[in-house]
C-alpha cells in the first residue's frame, strides 16, 4: 500500500511538475514574446537627399533598388510621410529631439559648428538608452560637435555620446565639408599626432588658403569632379570641399570606401548587440554630393554617379537585411527607411546628374525638391518594416519624422513627460500599419514654413530672395513674397494657387500656422 501510495504520490507529483513546468514555460514564452514586442531592435536607415521618385518602389526605372523595394513589398510603404525639413540639419534635429528645428534656429550647419542638441535633453537615443537599449549612430552627423572651437586632435566633445548614444562612428559634418575624416566616439580615426588636424571656414572661398593642402581654385587639375566656387576649398582624395583642412593626412577619408567602412561598423554593431535590444541610427552619406560611389557600382544605373550612388545605398540596405536574417533577429527588428530631405541634382559638383537624368523624375509626381517649400522638399520615400508584426500595405497617412520620438516611446511603453518631444505626435499605429489615421496638421520647415491641414497646403510668404534655388538648382522653391494655398486632392503638383479664391481656408491655415510658430 505504502509503495502504491508512494507511486500515486510520485505520479501526482510528476503530473503537477509537468503542469507546473508547462505553465512556467508557456509564461516564459509569452513573456519573451511580449518583451521582444515591447523592445524590438530599431534601425533607422536614413538616406540623404533621396527624392520621392528616386527608388523603384516609388517609380524609378533607370536604377534598380531591389532591397528597398523588398522592404516596401513586405512592410508599409507610405505615400505622404515627411522629413521635418527640406534640408539636412533641421530634419535630423527634429528626428532625434521630437521638436521642430525653428525652436532651436537650426539651419544647415558649417563644418565647425558646435553641437546643437544640449546634453541632458531627452532625445530618441537617450530615451531608448534609459529603457535598456544599446544605442549607436554610424554615418553622417551634421548636428555640430563640441561647445566652442573644437580641437580635433584632442577629445572631441560633447557629441553623440553626450546626448544618448553609446557608440558613434561619424562623418562629422557632410561629405562636401571638411573635416574629411572619421570620428569614432571622441577621437578622429587614424590621426597622426605629428600631423595635427585643423579646419577653417570662410565666407569667401577666394580668400587665401591658410594651409598647405591644395585647393580646387589653385589645383583644379587634381580634381575627379569639377566643383563650384563654394566647394573649391581643400582637396581631399581628389575632391575639393567646402572649407579648408590642414594636416590630418593619415586620417583622410577615401570617398569610394566611405560607405563600406560605415556598413562594416554597422554590421559589427548589430553582431555585438544581437542578444539584447539595440537602436541603430544609420544615416547614409549617399546620395549627397560628392557622389563618388565605390567603382563596383559604376554603371549600375544609367544615370551616372547619382544613380550609381542610389544603387550603392540600396545594396547597403540589402546587407543590413541579410545580417539580421543571418543572425535570426529579423523578426525582432523594426526598420524605418527614409530620407532627410528631397532631391537635388546639381549641388555643387559636375557629376552629370543633370545631363544623364533622361526622363527620371527624382521628385516623382510632386513639385520641388531639396530646399523647397513645395511637397517634394519633405515628402520622401518612407517604409516601415518588421516581419511578423508590420503588415504589407500602402498607407497614405500623413506623418513626419518628428513623430518618431513619441511613436517609438509608445512602442516600448514608455510614458514621456508632456514637456518633452513637444512637437512629436504618437503615430505608433500608423507606423505599425494598423491605422491609416495620420496627422491632420503638419508643419514643413524650409527657408519658410509650409503647413499641411488635411488635403490643404499653405506656404508662408518670405521677403528674402531664394531665387538661387529656382535658378541655380533648377528646383521650384515655392518660396515667394505672396501667400500660396493649394488643394492637394485636385492639385498634387501645387500648380494652382488658390490664395485669392479660398479666402476662408487661407485665413484658417494662416492662423493654424501662427499657433504653431507662435507669431502674431
Ligand atoms: C549647401 C551647400 C550644398 C549642401 C547643403 C547641405 C553650397 C553652395 N551648397 O550650403 O552643397 O552641402 O548646404 O546639404 O555651399 S544637406 O543635405 O546637408 O542639407
Ligand atoms: Ca540632405
Please tell me the predicted confidence (pLDDT) of residue 419: 86
Give the three cell numbers for residue 203: 565666407
Atom of ligand 1 nearest to the CA of 242: 15
Band (520; pLDDT cuts 50, 70, 90)? low
**What is the distance between the alpha carbons of residues 518 and 520, in angstroms, rounded to a whole number?**
7
Classify 184 as helix, strand or coil.
strand
pLDDT of residue 194: 98
Handedness of CA 347, 353, 358, 359 (dihedral sign): negative
User: Is the model's pLDDT at 425 over the cut of 90?
Assistant: yes
- What is the pTM (predicted TM-score) of this model? 0.92
221-226: which pairs have CB atoms within 8 A and are 24 or more residues apart? Answer: 224/292, 225/290, 225/292, 225/349, 225/350, 225/351, 226/349, 226/350
Average pLDDT over residues 295-317: 98
Question: For 176-199, what is the mean pLDDT?
Answer: 98
The yes-or-no verdict on residue 13 having pLDDT over 80 is no
Q: Predicted confidence band at 37 (pLDDT cuts at 50, 70, 90)? A: low
What is the predicted pLDDT for the residue at 480? 94
| pLDDT surpasses 90 at 6 | no
- Residues 6 or more apart whose CB falls under 8 angstroms from that of 375 comprise 52, 366, 367, 368, 457, 488, 492, 494
The per-residue pLDDT for 28 is: 37
Phi-psi region of 247 (alpha: psi -120 to 50; beta: other; left: phi over 0): left
173 lines ligand 1 (CB under 6 A): no
pLDDT (mean) for 302-326: 98
Is residue 31 predicted with pLDDT exceeding 60?
no
Average pLDDT rounded to a whole number, residues 24-49: 64
Residue 257 reports pLDDT greater than 80: yes
Candidates 83, 84, 107, 230: which one to mutate for ligand 1, based on the most atoms within 8 Å of Cβ?
A: 230
Amino acid 519: pLDDT = 74
Handedness of CA 233, 236, 239, 242 (dihedral sign): negative
Task: Verify whether ligand 1 is closer than 6 Å to residue 302 (CB atom).
Answer: no
The span from the CA of 507 to the CA of 502, in Å, is 9
Nearest ligand to the C-alpha of residue 205? Answer: 1
What integer pLDDT is reported at residue 21 of this predicted model?
Answer: 41
Query: Which H/E stretch holds residue 453?
Result: strand 449-453
H-assigned helices in 236-288: 255-272
- Going 22 to 25 to 31 to 33, the CA torsion angle's sign is negative
What percentage of residues in the chain have a pLDDT greater than 70? 92
Locate the ligand 1 atom nearest the alpha carbon of residue 289 and give its number. 11
Ligand 1, atom 2, residue with closest C-alpha: 347
- CA dihedral (78, 82, 86, 88) in degrees, to 10, reads -90
- Band of pLDDT at residue 203, cut at 50, 70 and 90: low
**Which residues on neighbouring strands pair with residue 420, listed in sequence order?**
none
pLDDT in the model for residue 205: 60
Residue 350 predicted with pLDDT over 60: yes
Predicted confidence band of residue 455 (pLDDT cuts 50, 70, 90): very high
Q: Give per-residue pLDDT as tens, 117-168.
A: 999 999 999 999 999 999 999 999 999 999 999 999 999 999 999 999 999 9
Residue whose CA is closest, atom 6 of ligand 1? 108
Give dist(CA 145, CA 49) in Å, integer: 22
Over residues 225-248, the pLDDT tens digits come to: 999 999 999 999 999 999 999 999
CA of 141 to the centre of ligand 1 (A): 14
Residue 298 pLDDT greater than 80, yes or no: yes
User: For all residues of the chain together, what is the average pLDDT?
Assistant: 93
pLDDT of residue 418: 83
pLDDT at 207: 73
Does the beta carbon of 380 sit less than 6 angstroms from any atom of ligand 1?
A: no
| Cα 279 to Cα 334: distance, rounded to the nearest angstrom | 10
Query: Whole-angstrom Cα distance, residue 263 to residue 320?
Result: 8
Dihedral, CA of residue 285, residue 289, residue 295 and residue 296, to nearest 10: 50
β-partners of residue 43 are 280, 335
Q: How far is the CA of 434 from the centre of ligand 1 (A)?
A: 37
- The domain ranges of the chain are 12-188+258-433, 198-246, 447-517
Would the CB of 200 count as within 6 Å of ligand 1?
no
Domain 447-517 in CATH 3.80.10.10: no
- Of 242, 283, 377, 475, the one to substitute when testing ligand 1's pocket (max ligand atoms within 8 A of C-beta) is 242
Q: Which CATH architecture has domain 12-188+258-433?
A: 3-Layer(aba) Sandwich (3.40)
51-91 pLDDT per residue, tens: 999 999 999 999 999 999 999 999 999 999 999 999 999 99
Amino acid at each position: 500500500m505504502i509503495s502504491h501510495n508512494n507511486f500515486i504520490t510520485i505520479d501526482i507529483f510528476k503530473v503537477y511538475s509537468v503542469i507546473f513546468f508547462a505553465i512556467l514555460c508557456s509564461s516564459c514564452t509569452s513573456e519573451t514574446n511580449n518583451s521582444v514586442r515591447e523592445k524590438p531592435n530599431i534601425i533607422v536607415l536614413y538616406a540623404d537627399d533621396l527624392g520621392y521618385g528616386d527608388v523603384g518602389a516609388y517609380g524609378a526605372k533607370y536604377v534598380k533598388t531591389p532591397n528597398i523595394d523588398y522592404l516596401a513589398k513586405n512592410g508599409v510603404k507610405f505615400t505622404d510621410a515627411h522629413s521635418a525639413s527640406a534640408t539636412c540639419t533641421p530634419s535630423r534635429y527634429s528626428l532625434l529631439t521630437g521638436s521642430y528645428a525653428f525652436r532651436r534656429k537650426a539651419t544647415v550647419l558649417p563644418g565647425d559648428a558646435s553641437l546643437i542638441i544640449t546634453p541632458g535633453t531627452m532625445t530618441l537615443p537617450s530615451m531608448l538608452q534609459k529603457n535598456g537599449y544599446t544605442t549607436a549612430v554610424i554615418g553622417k552627423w551634421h548636428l555640430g560637435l563640441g561647445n566652442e572651437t573644437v580641437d580635433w586632435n584632442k577629445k572631441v566633445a560633447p557629441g553623440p555620446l553626450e546626448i544618448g548614444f553609446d557608440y558613434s562612428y561619424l562623418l562629422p559634418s557632410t561629405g562636401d565639408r571638411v573635416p574629411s575624416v572619421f570620428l569614432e566616439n571622441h577621437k578622429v580615426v587614424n590621426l597622426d599626432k605629428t600631423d595635427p588636424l585643423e579646419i577653417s571656414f570662410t565666407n569667401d572661398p577666394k580668400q587665401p588658403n591658410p594651409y598647405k593642402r591644395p585647393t580646387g581654385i589653385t589645383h583644379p587639375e587634381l580634381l575627379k569632379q569639377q566643383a563650384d566656387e563654394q566647394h573649391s576649398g581643400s582637396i581631399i582624395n581628389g575632391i575639393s570641399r567646402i572649407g579648408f583642412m590642414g594636416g590630418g593626412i593619415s586620417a583622410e577619408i577615401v570617398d569610394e570606401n566611405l560607405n563600406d567602412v560605415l556598413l562594416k561598423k554597422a554590421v559589427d554593431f548589430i553582431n555585438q548587440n544581437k542578444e539584447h535590444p539595440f537602436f541603430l541610427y544609420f544615416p547614409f552619406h549617399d546620395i549627397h554630393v560628392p557622389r563618388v560611389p565605390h567603382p563596383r557600382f559604376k554603371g549600375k544605373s544609367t544615370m551616372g554617379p547619382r544613380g550609381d550612388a542610389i544603387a550603392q545605398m540600396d545594396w547597403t540596405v540589402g546587407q543590413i537585411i541579410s545580417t539580421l536574417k543571418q543572425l535570426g533577429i529579423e523578426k525582432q527588428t523594426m526598420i524605418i527607411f527614409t530620407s532627410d530631405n528631397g532631391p537635388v541634382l546639381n549641388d555643387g559638383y559636375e557629376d552629370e546628374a543633370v545631363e544623364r537624368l533622361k526622363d527620371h523624375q527624382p521628385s516623382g509626381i510632386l513639385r520641388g525638391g531639396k530646399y523647397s517649400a513645395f511637397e517634394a522638399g519633405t515628402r520622401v520615400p518612407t517604409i516601415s518594416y518588421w516581419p511578423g508584426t508590420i503588415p504589407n500595405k500602402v498607407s497614405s497617412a500623413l506623418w513626419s519624422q518628428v513623430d518618431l520620438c513619441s511613436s517609438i516611446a509608445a512602442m516600448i511603453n514608455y510614458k514621456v513627460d508632456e514637456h518633452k518631444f513637444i512637437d512629436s505626435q504618437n503615430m505608433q499605429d500608423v507606423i505599425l500599419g494598423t491605422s491609416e489615421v495620420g496627422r491632420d496638421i503638419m508643419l514643413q520647415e524650409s527657408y519658410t514654413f509650409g503647413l499641411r491641414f488635411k488635403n490643404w497646403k499653405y506656404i508662408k510668404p518670405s521677403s528674402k530672395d531664394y531665387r538661387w534655388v529656382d535658378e541655380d538648382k533648377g528646383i521650384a522653391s515655392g518660396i515667394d513674397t505672396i501667400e500660396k494655398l493649394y488643394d492637394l486632392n485636385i492639385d498634387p503638383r501645387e500648380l494652382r494657387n488658390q490664395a485669392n479664391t479660398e479666402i476662408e481656408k487661407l485665413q484658417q491655415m494662416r492662423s493654424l500656422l501662427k499657433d504653431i510658430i507662435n507669431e502674431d
